[in-house]
């Protein structure tokens, strides 16, 4: 299983926007967010299974408000998928692995 990488406002450009070889899934999360904790093992599994096509990172909105504000994140968990530095898919709320995989399929297969 591949670990989900934690990123900060300062690292966001290099770790997310600068990735050209695969899509990047960003989970906007917070320590107090129950649904975020439920989603963590799902994201860790996906990170391992799709590591060739998908990089998974998380950003704590309380410690890194600039990035959350820049992308209009109003709720946690919010999942944003980036391809070539641009957001291409947005999802709000926890979901089962199968549903998330279905939602990601069109982005990953692009």
Residues with a known catalytic role: 33, 36
Give me the residues paired with residue 78 across strands.
Answer: 28, 92
Give me the residues paired with residue 25 across strands.
Answer: 56, 81
CA distance 63 to 65: 6
| Residue 54 contacts residue 25 (beta carbons within 8 Å) | yes
Beta-sheet strand order (sheet of 23-29): 5-7, 54-60, 23-29, 78-83, 86-92
Q: Which two tokens stand for residue 7?
A: 């990123």
| Residue 109 contacts residue 50 (beta carbons within 8 Å) | no
């Amino acid at each position: 299983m591949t670990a989900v990488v934690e990123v900060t406002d300062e690292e966001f450009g290099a770790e997310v926007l600068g990735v050209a070889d695969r899509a990047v899934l960003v989970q906007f999360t917070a320590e107090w967010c129950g649904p975020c904790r439920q989603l963590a093992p799902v994201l860790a599994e996906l990170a391992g299974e799709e590591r060739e096509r998908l990089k998974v990172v998380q950003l704590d909105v309380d410690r890194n408000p600039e990035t959350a504000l820049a992308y209009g994140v109003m709720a946690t968990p919010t999942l944003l998928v980036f391809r070539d530095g641009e957001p291409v898919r947005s999802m709000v709320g926890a979901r089962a692995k199968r549903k998330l995989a279905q939602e990601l399929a069109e982005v990953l297969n692009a």
